[in-house]
Structure 1
Amino acid sequence: MPVLVITGTGTEVGKTVTTAAVAAAALAAGRSVAVLKAAQTGVRPDERGDADEVARLAGPVAASELARYPEPLAPGTAARRAGMAPVRPQEVAEAAAKLATEHDLVLVEGAGGLLVRFDAAGGTLADAAVLLGAPVLVVAAAGLGTLNSTELTARELRLRQLELIGVVIGSWPRDPDLAARCNVADLPEVAGAPLLGAIPAGAGALSPADFRAKAPSWLSARLSGEWDAGAFRERQAAFQGDAP
């Protein structure tokens, strides 16, 4: 898995912190890591972007972004409004492929959801993943409404014959409600792929040292971690009082 594409089911689901956790776990396992942000929006030239945040939390990764647009909009819209050149899927694929010749793992982080448009032609992160032939990790929300968006994303990946390696809950609440606890069992079912981790809410506010030390405990072995999905699911079911 030299290239892994990371997408969210939407915005604000914990995609960047999840990317940082995957990077930190891979670094802890002795792998060299590059992080590519396909298109950064809503950030001024002098501000830190998502790739910079991943590097701050995860450690020594090669962090880069292909384009930066000032308004917090879909990349295609932000590029058009700024009068700037858009990012195209072919550019994303070419940049990731080059990084893969120099690193053990390349994490390509999208902007928002899988089908957010990069350009006027309708190019998306999904198109870049197809060009790369790369597997995809989906970051989902924990609570009510996440099942629909996760299943729609998984269906689109299957239509494009892309491998969905699994789902990570991008922000697991300290006091999860009934919906979130039930979703631990339901998310793998609707996605047709395993649950590969749960990132605690607020993880991005940890010190980099604490984040790096704890990241493997949030992710399964498939992502170089030690998190046990079965044990996690049993704990949530027991809390509901309906464990077998």
Structure 2
Amino acid sequence: MMAESSVIVVTGIGTGIGKTVATGLLGRYLLGQGKRVITQKLVQTGCTGLAEDILVHRTLMGQDIQPEDRQGLTCPYVFAKACSPHLAASLAGQEIAPEVLRQATGTLATQYDMVLLEGAGGLYVPLTEELTFLDYLEQEAYPLIVVSTPRLGSINHTLSVLELARNRGLTVLGIIYNRSQESDPVIAEDSAQVFSRYLKRYGHHDCVIDLFGVEEYIRQQRKLDFNQLFRLDR
């Protein structure tokens, strides 16, 4: 049994936290389970042409570029300036239209079992002058997977995301705990326990899954197991 929504958002506690790798590996896992899955990113800044993060997803999933990538469905907005989406759009003489995002995701959702939607930055990233990514997610009521790390400051940022989601009526399916960088094992284990407690406190799913380096999964054949997030066996 899949998660109820066919669209799941992969967000994080900030930029450079591992969302892109996590999204690609989640897609790889679902493909291995026989699911028809595609990844999406609403907006990419700092590049031109095909969205760089989508290309990373395809590599990690062992796929070629998909027709939907070339059609712009998997990333409706790509801007050259590496900055906040609302500013990048303004500098390009454009404005991000929520309906364009909504239609692209809806089209993908009719063609695939699952759409993994990677966020840009964190929840409070502004898409327009009046709309944040969090506002948009609240409108769409998509469930979330949150990417976090053991590094210093992560507890504060992670618990803030969990509380924000609860306050906006959003469900967190679990936390992907990015342990690809070396960290103090005592801090790492304690942080994981804190995350677990607060997932339960805020009414989310109590699921914290370790994520290690990409090489371990791709070249060393370490088993990917995200079943707790998707509950495929229920």
* Superposed displacement of residue 128, structure 1: 3.0
* Superposed displacement of residue 145, structure 1: 0.8
Which segment drifts farther, 28-37 or 171-180? 171-180
Q: Residue in 2 aligned with 1:22?
A: 26
* Residues 175/129 of structure 1: CA separation in 2 closer, same or farther (3 Å cut): closer
Distance 1:140 1:186 in 2: 12
Distance 2:184 2:227 in 1: 20
TM norm structure 2: 0.83
**What secondary structure does 1:73 align onto?**
coil
**What secondary structure does 2:116 align onto?**
strand
Matches within 5 A, 1:190-209: 190-192=198-200, 193=204, 194-200=206-212, 202-203=213-214, 206=215, 209=218
Pairwise CA RMSD of aligned residues? 2.5
Are the counterparts in 2 of residues 142 and 172 from structure 1 also a CA contact under 8 Å? no
User: Structure 1 unaligned runs (5+)?
Assistant: 227-244
1:74 aligns with 2:84: yes
Q: Residue in 2 aligned with 1:131?
A: 139
Distance 2:45 2:232 in 1: 30
Given candidates 177, 184, 196, the residue that maps to 1:188 is 196
Distance 1:208 1:86 in 2: 39
**What secondary structure does 1:108 align onto?**
strand
TM-superposition CA deviations, 1:142-196 (whole Å, max 9, x none): 2221111111111111111111111111344345443222111111223444234
* Residues 6/136 of structure 1: CA separation in 2 closer, same or farther (3 Å cut): same
What is the percent sequence identity of the aligned residues?
A: 26
Are the counterparts in 1 of residues 177 and 211 from structure 2 also a CA contact under 8 Å? yes
Q: Residue in 1 aligned with 2:95?
A: 86
Matches within 5 A, 1:32-71: 32-45=36-49, 49-60=52-63, 63=69, 64-71=74-81
Q: Residue in 1 aligned with 2:163?
A: 155
Given candidates 85, 109, 127, the residue that maps to 1:100 is 109
**What secondary structure does 2:193 align onto?**
helix
**What secondary structure does 1:112 align onto?**
coil
* Superposed displacement of residue 66, structure 1: 1.1
Are the counterparts in 1 of residues 192 and 208 from structure 2 also a CA contact under 8 Å? no
Distance 2:192 2:208 in 1: 11
Are the counterparts in 1 of residues 150 and 183 from structure 2 also a CA contact under 8 Å? no
Distance 2:113 2:99 in 1: 21
Q: Residue in 1 aligned with 2:176?
A: 168
Specify the code of the residue in structure 2 equivalent to 1:53. Answer: V
State the number of aligned residues.
Answer: 218
Distance 1:39 1:115 in 2: 14
